[in-house]
Amino acid sequence: MFAVPRTLVVGYGNISRRDDGVGHYVAERIQDQGVESIHTMVLQQLGPELAETISDYDLVVFVDVYLDKNAEGLQVISVESLYRPSAITHSLSPSSLLALTQALYHRQPRAIIVAIPGYDFDFGMELSEGTERWAGVAVERILKIHDETEEKPGGAKN
């Protein structure tokens, strides 16, 4: 019997800065779908303490906003394990987090970033209309990627 691949969706950003909170929004919508093999978490930023958690998953989807005045469209980016030293030790990039996971737990899940265009970063709790529209597209895309991962197990590297 094969184990069902497990997916972790990590939505991160500042929910008090409108579109910067889109990662939280998407993770919550994914959670609402009730897919047993998808777990979600929401964070302000990615920290080193997350390495142990992500080592248990086959696929990790990092959901964040990107800023571009001409931003139009969802970006799905494969994450490669690469440590980049930073003066900020309490916050990591997805690639540095994967490298830390490999170094500490000798396991590296497949990982992607789903980047959603952001248009409004003023103080506030609601997403702009454009970002909310792309967030819906992101939910659909993440569910599709998860389904494809279930069809071909073995996403994590030991």
Which residues, including other chains, have CB under 8 Å from residue 34's CB and lie 6 or more apart? none
Domain that includes residue 81, residue range: 7-150
Distance CA 145, CA 77 (A): 12
Does a structural domain hold residue 155?
A: no
Distance between CA atoms of residues 109 and 75, nearest Å? 20
Is residue 103 included in any domain, yes or no?
yes
Q: Is there a domain that residue 157 lies in? A: no
Q: Name the residue with higher pLDDT: 49 or 155.
A: 49
pLDDT, position 37: 94
Is residue 123 assigned to a domain? yes
Specify if 158 maps to a domain.
Answer: no
Residue ranges in the chain assigned as alpha helix (H): 22-32, 50-54, 94-105, 129-151
Domain count, the chain: 1
Task: Indicate which CATH number applies to the domain containing 47.
Answer: 3.40.50.1450
Question: Does residue 2 fall inside a structural domain?
Answer: no
Instruction: Give 63-109 pLDDT, tens digit per residue.
Output: 999 987 676 789 999 999 876 655 455 579 999 999 999 999 999 99
CA triple 149-152-155, angle to 5 deg = 60
Contacts of residue 128, defined as CB under 8 A and 6 or more positions apart, other chains included, come to 18, 19, 118, 119, 120
Q: What is the mean pLDDT of residues 7-17?
A: 97
Mean pLDDT for the stretch of residues 106-129? 96
Q: Is 156 inside a domain boundary?
A: no
Q: What pLDDT, on a 0 to 100 scale, did the predictor assign at position 28?
A: 98
* pLDDT digits 0-9 by tens, 17-59: 999 999 999 999 999 999 999 999 999 999 999 999 999 999 9
CA distances from 104 to 24, 53, 62, 83, 154 (A): 27, 12, 20, 13, 20
CA distance 21 to 48: 21
Predicted confidence (pLDDT) at residue 156 exceeds the cutoff of 80? no
**Confidence band, pLDDT 50/70/90 cuts, at residue 2:** very low
pLDDT at residue 59, as a whole number: 97
**How do residues 137-153 score in pLDDT, each as one tens digit?**
999 999 999 999 877 65
CA separation for the pair 65, 20 (Å, rounded): 6
Residue 71 domain flag: yes
